[in-house]
A = this chain, B = another copy of it.
């Protein structure tokens, strides 16, 4: 008898996490002898804990196919971390209760580092709590910090958005610099690692192109060195275009974002390192500035997703089902880079035990000696990840993104569970 599968989206969503869901559901639908139905967790793992499951069989093939070009988490996501088996025993027992009630034999968890850790722990339930379940993680994170896999689905599209945007804004400020704006600062995500900021560097093909400066979280902010670099760029190119990571810290270890703006009550204001950097340049060098904070726009920008990212996201969802049907447990499909130019990749897989709690930082040799740019090695790694366009269909001038019906599976348990 075929078992049901549980699928959940976890953590911050991306432009392509739904492409993974699409790959997973479409592949599962081809194996009704092995997988009866895919139940999605409404708002991620919380849906499992509260027995709030979505019956994906209620969605048409066309709507599932449309997930491939729809950003965000189609079933809802959540920020909720299961701790170890001992600390969170009640949660794990509840998962088993729900899985048993709904005859779930496969657990697919689509997320970043914390989620892979959870997948790994759920895979241990079989042994430790006597409930057999096949667990496969599906990589997803704009932070690109999962180990083993060449890159993380979601990252390539953010990388493309950031590179395209800073190229466009750099062209703009170059036109205005003679009499007006000379400094443009664009803030991007990446609290721990500079992968996203680094992607901005792809926009510069020659030394005179913007961005002229990238501020990485890996490099301690040195005000004097930074200001000298800004002045130099303005003197040589007429303007200075800057990409700054939200995670940049000063020598005291403080986030730069926390050192500047305050609200009317004097409270430090988070999430705005761009205005801090821009104001510093204005105060010390007197140049007129503009700044932008892309925030969610960067990770939701399905309209400018990279084709390789969409393809890999889909392939990860598909491979997750295939790995499970091969009997692999406690694994995560990965992207394996075969060659750079032309970019070729294939599907591999890693043990969740090797993925959980390992953060892939950006190699030192990817940042230029002066700390303000990317190296040719970095460019060689990043370039293929932004290759190709994969435009969504449009209707009335806007991307035609799908909203699923998300019909609930009838509850079978009389018990409830409060998520804290």
> Could you list which residues of chain A lie within 8 angstroms of chain B, going by C-beta atoms?
9, 12-13, 15, 43-44, 46, 70-74, 76-80, 160, 163-165, 167-169, 171-176, 178-181, 184, 186, 202-203, 259-264, 269, 271-272, 274-276, 279, 290-297, 299-304, 306, 383, 386-389, 391, 394, 396-399, 401
Q: Which residues of B contact A175 (CB under 8 A)?
A: 9, 13, 72-74, 76-77
Q: Closest residue of chain B to A306, judged by CB?
A: B397
Cβ–Cβ contact A260 & B263, under 8 A: yes
The residues of B that contact A71 with a CB separation of less than 8 Å are: 168, 171-172
Query: A176, B269: Cβ atoms under 8 Å?
Result: no
Contacts of A292 in B (CB 8 A): 292-297
Contact B180 A401 (CB under 8 A): no
Closest residue to A80 on the B side, CB-wise?
B179
* A168/B301 contact (C-beta < 8 A), A76-B178, A397-B306, A398-B163 known: yes
In contact, B264 and A260 (Cβ under 8 angstroms)? yes
Complex A-B, nearest 3 residue pairs according to Cβ-Cβ distance, in ascending order: A73-B175, A386-B397, A72-B171
Residues of chain B contacted by A202 (CB below 8 angstroms):
396-398
Contact B271 A272 (CB under 8 A): no
> In the complex, what distance in Å separates the CA atom of A179 from the CA atom of B44?
10
Q: Let me know if B397 and A165 touch, CB within 8 A.
A: no
A167 touching B383 in the complex, CB below 8 Å, given contacts A261-B261, A271-B275: no
Q: Is the CB of B398 within 8 A of A78?
A: no
Cβ-neighbour of A399 out of B164, B300, B387 (below 8 A): B164
Q: Who on chain B is nearest to A298 by CB? A: B292
Complex CA–CA separation, A260 to B272 (angstroms): 13
A398 pairs with B203, CB closer than 8 A:
yes
**In the complex the two chains form, is B178's CB within 8 Å of A78's CB?**
yes
Residues of B within 8 A of A297 (CB): 165, 168-169, 186, 292, 294, 297
Cα distance A138–B374 when bound, in Å?
41
Q: Is the CB of A163 within 8 A of B397?
A: yes
Q: In whole angstroms, how far apart are the Cα atoms of A394 and B306 in the complex?
A: 11
Neighbour of A389 across the interface among B72, B171, B387, B394, CB < 8 A: B394
Beyond A43-B178, A296-B169, A397-B202, is A261–B259 a contact (Cβ under 8 Å)?
no
Q: Across the interface, do A290 and B296 meet the contact criterion of CB distance under 8 Å?
A: yes
Of B43, B260, B389, the contact of A179 (CB 8 Å cutoff): B43
